[in-house]
Structure 1
Amino acid sequence: MMSEEAGQMLVVYDDPSDQRSLSLDDTSSTEESPDETRLSLETTNDVVPYIGQRFPTHDAAYEFYSEFAKRCGFSIRRHRTEGKDGVGKGLTRRYFVCHRAGNTPIKATNETKPQRNRKSSRCGCQAYMRISKVTELGAPEWRVTGFANHHNHELLEPNQVRFLPAYRTISDTDKSRILMFAKTGISVQQMMKLMELEKCVEPGYLPFTEKDVRNLLQSFRKLDPEDESVDLLRMCRNIKEKDPNFKFEYTLDPNNRLENIAWSYASSVQAYEIFGDAVVFDTTHRLTALDMPLGIWVGVNNYGVPCFFGCTLLREENLRSLSWALKAFLGFMDGKPPQTILTDQNMCLKEAIAMEMPATKHALCIWMIVVKFPSWFNAVLGERYNEWKAEFYRLYNLESIEDFELGWRDMVNSFGLHTNRHIANLFALRTQWALPYLKRHFFAGMTTTGHSKAINSFIQRFLSAQTRLAHFVEQVAVAVDFKDQAAEQQTMQQNLQNICLKTGAPMESHAASVLTPFAFSKLQEQLVLAAHYASFQMEDGFLIRHHTKLEGGRKVYWVPQEGIISCSCHQFEFSGILCRHALRVLSTGNCFQIPDRYLPIRWRRISTHSVKLLQNSPSDHSERIQLLQSMVSSLVAESAKSKERLDLATEQVSFLVSRIRQQPLPSQGPKDIPSIHRNL
């Protein structure tokens, strides 16, 4: 028989499902005796709620019951509240129940609105605690008047209960920390690892999960798009006031709302002057704050490190918007278009580039194509998919156009892909992605898999830096600055590395003193391979063939008097690094130094300031500056090998700098350039 107190408790459960699921033992409604009660805060022995237990506030009672529930393996939630003796007397009774109490009511279906159909954890559990407000001697307190700890479900283990939503909380301090991390552009996984280290907890034991962090960041993006746009423009103007070299352009629609915006930083414009010959324009991402397409211009510097050139946000990814973005970008860069530009397979973008950059070679990023292969060909080819992919890469890396087209035809026949629309589309666009068709154009090595991964990782840093749209421009600047500092550190580490000469040839040591370690490693590979090739002088040049081959080979044309050399493989035109065939001819012709024109400025050990001086200098002064730069690079490389060498170099260079500063400066003119370079 249910007691009167239990019956009263059922009254507060207005939901019929709760009435069916909740039944209380008679013992749970025992009336408490004031003489036998005590405040739970007076002793630490009160680990289990009991009838008559006293609390100063209902929040204190909730916290106590919550801690008890956590130890047992469940969580609680606030349920019904009621006032005693009618309305107006205030809150006099509260109920806390197990998180699995009650049953899930059936929701009305709406065919026009998609249903989430999330599974409910409620199973009619009867565990609860009831507290009532008692006022004695003018001091109100709360007493436990009902308690049951009977569960109709399994309780969780201690290492599982922490994943319940009630125990996953992010403190205000942690929220501030997470938002600060977000501004730097690091990923959520990296945030979690950093906070685990800071709090000295084992991996996975923070009081919140990755999903909680992502939800927190997402909550900061759910703002009014119009207000966000206004704040974004205000942020750009503020940055412009602080840095006059910051550049941005935007357009408004007829309703005076932000339509498109593009921006670039002073360091990006400076980097583009030197390394803007080959550019990647990635438009495959979206900024979730406003669900706008995001375009990012990036390149690669002389140390092989990705560098940022600019960003754009577009309302629509159509021909008009993309043309505007390209115009804005060229405006930032003083109208200088890149020699080559790599993009995804976007027909509107292809047309926009043809309109705005007619002299630029447009190619497709191979990694943006390859990433689609599983969805295109996995089901079609089945077990032969990996075999086909290996054949595709072989064809992609061929040097001859004729060999590529013959091989493609054989591949289609071998795998039965005559009617496959993706294969037909790839072949139709082959001049924009296959290396045999791109070899005559400079791409700074950005078509390789290694560079593609580095650039993609570089772009992901900006996508991680999303909290609010209004702060996105500033956050990208932080991410760019962070990347620039990392690049400087990588540059320093490369310069301090001992360079290992593998051939002993004078050309190798000369190149090592001029090129960056990144570029030299590429050239050194070709120098080593050059020794495996035979050279045959012909009437119109040289035929270079591998020593194991009896046919074929590459034609090399060399004019020693003018220092001009070219190869039919076009590797220098493609990467800026001389090929093994040309190096073999130079070696045969007793050439002990690589001609300066084949040691491009963009691959040399010089800063952006030095490159600008070289580009603006007359030829005679340029040669002298290049020679001095080579000598300085050799000095640094040799001095770094030991402490004694470094001390000697520091002493001698200090003396030399003092003597140079004593020399009088000539009047302004072309001959001032070397002195300017010295001051730098």
Structure 2
Amino acid sequence: MDESGMRFSEPNYHGWSVDEDDFSDEYEELFSDEEASQSANMDENLDCLHFNGKKYEDLRSSDMIGVEFSSVEAVDTFYAYYSLAMGFSFRKEKLCRNTAQVVVRRQLVCSKEGERKKRGKPDPSFASEIISCAQNLSPPHGTKQVCKRKTVNQKPIVEDADRRSMKRSGKQSGEDEHGKKRQRPPQRNITRGNCQARITARRCKESGVFRVVQFITEHNHALVTTEFVPFLRSHRKVRDHDVAQVTALKKVSVGTCRAYELLVHQAGGHEFVGFLIKDLYNKMDSERKELMVDGDAQSTISFMNLKASKEAEFFCLFSVDAEGRLGNMFWRDTKSLADYNNFGDVLIIDSTYKTNIYGKPLAIFVGANNHRATVLFACALLADESEDTYNWVVTAFLTSMRGKKPISVLTDGDEALRNAVVNLIPEARHRLCAWHIAKNVVKNVRDADVQRDFCHLIFAGLGVDEWEKSWHYMVTMNGLQDNKWVAAMYNKRERWAEAFFRNHFFSGMCTTQRCEAMHRNLKGGVGRYMRLCEVLPRMDKTIECIRFNGLNDDFKSMNSHPVIGSHMRCIQQQVSVRFTHDVFLLIKDQILFESKFLVADRVRYENQGSTLHLVTQYGKPERTWHVTHYQGKPDLSFVCSCHLFESDGIPCCHIFTVIKTMNMTTLPESLVNQRWTKQACTKDTSTLSSGIMPAKDLQLARYGQMMGDCAQICHSASFSDEAYEEITNCLSRLMVRSKTFKRCKDSQPPETVDGLQPNVIRDPNVCKTKGTHSRHSTSVEVERDQPGGRGCGFCSRPGHNVRTCALLAAQNGGGKG
């Protein structure tokens, strides 16, 4: 039977990357071979420019017939050098083995060999011929013959390459899920031309070498010139060290495109890289699929178990839905536990979107450290934003922190989250984000003066009675008695107005902007199209960077001193020693503000052992504050009516006014809040690591160390010709020797953790959250399905926009159309 146009290959046998369109169907012929044995040598030291003293361009059939190679890999290497020198791409066609699975025949052909199969229904006579041949064909005695072909049926045959092309484009003939007709994309360009150039080598039974029995050099097409050689598919390969370098760059949030630009820069041009950017994308995608061999969710769970094996205090908890898919996932590490024990008095909870391909909201638990910098306590991926989900994640958080509860909690206006916090942490004082309240004011109130007065009542440090008077005055003067939104905000005023939180510690925070900043940092390396197994390692890198900056703040506080002013210098000197630099600046401002106040009167209460000081502002005697000094209570020496110390932990300017009046030169110990001092961070005595490092991380660590050493050597040797020649020769010898090292990448078993069975957690479904639009990745299709398309931005009616809106034109024109 004529085999012209049929495809035979062994995909990726020697590692040469071949286009999917050039892949052939698997074809194996098993021949009898008594006492067959493998060749001892696995590599042939071939010259890339000459073969047997002759240039590759000058080789003829007579020069190659009868030439022997030690192994099949040597045959592949020779034809790779030959095709590169001649200017054509080759393809692996046949690989025949005997019953002992020893390779006995190897054939390599030009990539233009054969013809593309035609579309349409097969010829019935042709199908009958195949069936009859299959029934009547019997292999020789003592041999087996296996020929894997596509099943012939009466359905239209569509070539694999074209089917994959249609699948990638998302279009096929017929109708889509919305009932709309799809246009068939144009067929891929024809690359086959029935070229007969090839090389065939057979294995000798006696010596075990491979002897060339066929070598055809004539092509029926033009060969490419030097500038087009980088585009030949068989000569484009992404090497392992390129993958390692790109993988290292991706761990620090450098995209594949930018990584390719770096490789181009290092190679000296696109033509010297050895592959195209599409090849790099395909290679990295295959690496990702290899990582996700058990699925995205299972790979994520394995990643968490590896972290748990390295950290004794690591905590992770996840839930599974009825279908066995990953639902919620909560985790925190050892450092987060230590930070929460030191600074967990105030907790901020918020969620963000567009961090993974499943649309799962990312919830984070953050706080403020002694430098007033943001610290991360925990993270969670949520299945949805229901109250049950928030109950689950808040319970997991309290469990991971060993039952320690915060005294203050800040959230946005999500009622589900608020209910979960109130039910599970009833002792904590809950506060709504002031920034979100101010944003809602702008949306619901159009008058600019009312917006200004409303925002003043959000942040003003007034007393409760004074705040009530100001509120009713604002409502009455602006006629807001019937405004439902204003009335609703008044009913929950104790959740957002500063006046109701003056005597409760919130460490100077009234918004969730720390969460927003943390979201911005975490989302810098992740995106909405990334899978969970890619998101979590990048988040770890970002968290490491944030914590490193915190160590830098500690270093500056311990090894430098802030500039001290002349006003109340003794007090400033003590504050600079006890408190961190950032807190010192806040206290210093209060000390400087002291010059604007004076003590107008004092009243002594002998029975209580206290003295009441009446503090007024200079030039404004109507503004007064009361500062009470307790002589016999070392833990409570000063209390001011502004309650700045109780809410922020910082002594106010009114207290410093009294201290100056009493001629005190030392700061009372009762005014030192330990969470703001340099010694606020207790030393963590828990075991941070068990010494276990995953093989992949160990390999990357070794690679990074050797890359740094080589970079230093190459930089030093690039300044002189002598050093360049010496280092180049040494690197060449090391390169040859490194190829002899055994690679254990494929031989090592996958890393597993005891107690977790593989393939038990399925990938989650795409979530529909309140923070995302209904139009997701198919926004254009959904928009087209809506009647009339998108509505007008002014009247919300479809069919026009604000520029052509008749209602807007009539309003602006005083009723004239």
Q: Do they superpose with TM above 0.5? A: yes
Indicate whether 1:399 and 2:461 are aligned. Answer: yes
Question: Which of 594, 603, 616 does residue 667 from structure 2 map onto?
Answer: 594
Indicate whether 1:528 and 2:592 are aligned. Answer: yes
CA separation of 1:261 and 1:138: change in aligned 2, threshold 3 A:
closer
Indicate whether 1:264 and 2:264 are aligned. Answer: no
- After superposition, give the CA deviation of every residue in 1:405-464 in whole Å (9 maximum; x if it has no partner): 455556567777666665454444332222222222222233369756644444445856
| One-letter amino acid of the structure 1 residue matched with residue 574 of structure 2 | H
1:486, distance to aligned residue in structure 2 (A): 1.9
CA distance in structure 1 between the partners assigned to 2:427 and 2:309 by the alignment: 35
Which residue of 2 is the match for residue 543 of structure 1?
A: 614
Give the match's secondary structure for 2:295: helix
| One-letter amino acid of the structure 2 residue matched with residue 585 of structure 1 | V
Indicate whether 1:509 and 2:608 are aligned. Answer: no
CA distance in structure 1 between the partners assigned to 2:257 and 2:558 by the alignment: 34
CA distance in structure 2 between the partners assigned to 1:83 and 1:214 by the alignment: 26
Give the match's secondary structure for 2:379: strand
Give the match's secondary structure for 2:679: coil
Question: Which of 161, 174, 178 does residue 112 from structure 1 map onto?
Answer: 178
- After superposition, give the CA deviation of every residue in 1:272-317 in whole Å (9 maximum; x if it has no partner): 1110011111123365243323221111111122111112223232
CA separation of 1:133 and 1:414: change in aligned 2, threshold 3 A:
farther
CA distance in structure 2 between the partners assigned to 1:279 and 1:449 by the alignment: 10
| One-letter amino acid of the structure 2 residue matched with residue 604 of structure 1 | T
Give the match's secondary structure for 1:233: helix
Q: Which runs of 5+ in 2 are unaligned?
A: 1-56, 59-81, 91-111, 131-169, 199-213, 224-236, 604-610, 686-817
Is 2:593–2:653's contact at 8 Å kept on the other side of the alignment? yes
Moved more, 437-446 or 451-460: 451-460
1:112, distance to aligned residue in structure 2 (A): 2.9
Is 2:561–2:576's contact at 8 Å kept on the other side of the alignment? no
Moved more, 423-432 or 264-273: 423-432
Indicate whether 1:241 and 2:303 are aligned. Answer: no
Pairing 1:248-287 to 2, within 5 Å after superposition: 248-285=316-353, 287=355
Which residue of 1 is the match for residue 195 of structure 2?
A: 133
CA distance in structure 1 between the partners assigned to 2:590 and 2:258 by the alignment: 42
Give the match's secondary structure for 1:133: coil
1:219, distance to aligned residue in structure 2 (A): 11
Moved more, 289-298 or 348-357: 289-298
Indicate whether 1:290 and 2:358 are aligned. Answer: yes
CA distance in structure 1 between the partners assigned to 2:88 and 2:667 by the alignment: 83
Pairing 1:659-678 to 2, within 5 Å after superposition: none
Which residue of 1 is the match for residue 657 of structure 2?
A: 584
Is 2:330–2:378's contact at 8 Å kept on the other side of the alignment? yes
Is 1:363–1:433's contact at 8 Å kept on the other side of the alignment? yes
Indicate whether 1:429 and 2:506 are aligned. Answer: no
CA distance in structure 1 between the partners assigned to 2:660 and 2:286 by the alignment: 61
CA separation of 1:610 and 1:288: change in aligned 2, threshold 3 A:
closer
Q: Which runs of 5+ in 1 are unaligned?
A: 1-40, 43-54, 64-77, 89-103, 147-168, 613-680
CA separation of 1:291 and 1:491: change in aligned 2, threshold 3 A:
same
Question: Which of 553, 578, 581 does residue 490 from structure 1 map onto?
Answer: 553
Give the match's secondary structure for 2:563: coil
- After superposition, give the CA deviation of every residue in 1:164-192 in whole Å (9 maximum; x if it has no partner): xxxxx9998776555544544x476xx97
- After superposition, give the CA deviation of every residue in 1:633-655 in whole Å (9 maximum; x if it has no partner): xxxxxxxxxxxxxxxxxxxxxxx
Question: Which of 396, 419, 424 does residue 328 from structure 1 map onto?
Answer: 396
- After superposition, give the CA deviation of every residue in 1:561-585 in whole Å (9 maximum; x if it has no partner): 3242111211111111111112211
Indicate whether 1:500 and 2:566 are aligned. Answer: no
Is 2:300–2:532's contact at 8 Å kept on the other side of the alignment? yes
Indicate whether 1:480 and 2:543 are aligned. Answer: yes
Indicate whether 1:305 and 2:373 are aligned. Answer: yes
1:527, distance to aligned residue in structure 2 (A): 0.6
Indicate whether 1:231 and 2:299 are aligned. Answer: yes
1:507, distance to aligned residue in structure 2 (A): 1.4
Which residue of 2 is the match for residue 558 of structure 1?
A: 629
CA separation of 1:309 and 1:106: change in aligned 2, threshold 3 A:
closer
Larger radius of gyration: 2
Query: Which has a greater percent of helix?
Result: 1
Q: CA RMSD in A?
A: 5.4
CA distance in structure 1 between the partners assigned to 2:281 and 2:473 by the alignment: 51
Give the match's secondary structure for 1:554: strand
Is 2:352–2:519's contact at 8 Å kept on the other side of the alignment? no
- After superposition, give the CA deviation of every residue in 1:39-77 in whole Å (9 maximum; x if it has no partner): xx99xxxxxxxxxxxx969x96799xxxxxxxxxxxxxx
CA separation of 1:208 and 1:138: change in aligned 2, threshold 3 A:
closer
- After superposition, give the CA deviation of every residue in 1:189-243 in whole Å (9 maximum; x if it has no partner): xx97788678669xxx99999xx99998999599999933333333323322222
CA distance in structure 2 between the partners assigned to 1:350 and 1:600 by the alignment: 29
Indicate whether 1:469 and 2:537 are aligned. Answer: no
Is 1:236–1:473's contact at 8 Å kept on the other side of the alignment? no
CA separation of 1:331 and 1:105: change in aligned 2, threshold 3 A:
closer
| One-letter amino acid of the structure 1 residue matched with residue 555 of structure 2 | M
CA separation of 1:417 and 1:494: change in aligned 2, threshold 3 A:
farther
CA separation of 1:301 and 1:242: change in aligned 2, threshold 3 A:
same
Is 2:365–2:378's contact at 8 Å kept on the other side of the alignment? yes
Moved more, 430-439 or 411-420: 411-420
1:271, distance to aligned residue in structure 2 (A): 1.1
Indicate whether 1:441 and 2:504 are aligned. Answer: yes
Which residue of 2 is the match for residue 570 of structure 1?
A: 643
Pairing 1:322-471 to 2, within 5 Å after superposition: 322-370=390-438, 376=443, 381=446, 390-400=452-462, 401-408=464-471, 423-447=486-510, 451=514, 454-460=517-523, 467-470=530-533
TM-score by length of 1: 0.60
CA distance in structure 2 between the partners assigned to 1:548 and 1:192 by the alignment: 64
| One-letter amino acid of the structure 2 residue matched with residue 270 of structure 1 | A
CA separation of 1:335 and 1:466: change in aligned 2, threshold 3 A:
farther
| One-letter amino acid of the structure 2 residue matched with residue 526 of structure 1 | Q
| One-letter amino acid of the structure 1 residue matched with residue 675 of structure 2 | R
Give the match's secondary structure for 1:531: helix
**Greater relative contact order, per chain length (Cα 8 Å cut-off, separation 6+):** 2
Which residue of 1 is the match for residue 386 of structure 2?
A: 318
Is 1:367–1:452's contact at 8 Å kept on the other side of the alignment? no
1:267, distance to aligned residue in structure 2 (A): 1.1
Which residue of 2 is the match for residue 609 of structure 1?
A: 682
Pairing 1:87-236 to 2, within 5 Å after superposition: 110=176, 112=178, 133=195, 139=216, 142=219, 177=245, 179-184=247-252, 186=253, 227-236=295-304
TM-score by length of 2: 0.51
CA distance in structure 1 between the partners assigned to 2:254 and 2:453 by the alignment: 36
CA separation of 1:419 and 1:461: change in aligned 2, threshold 3 A:
farther
CA distance in structure 2 between the partners assigned to 1:465 and 1:601 by the alignment: 41
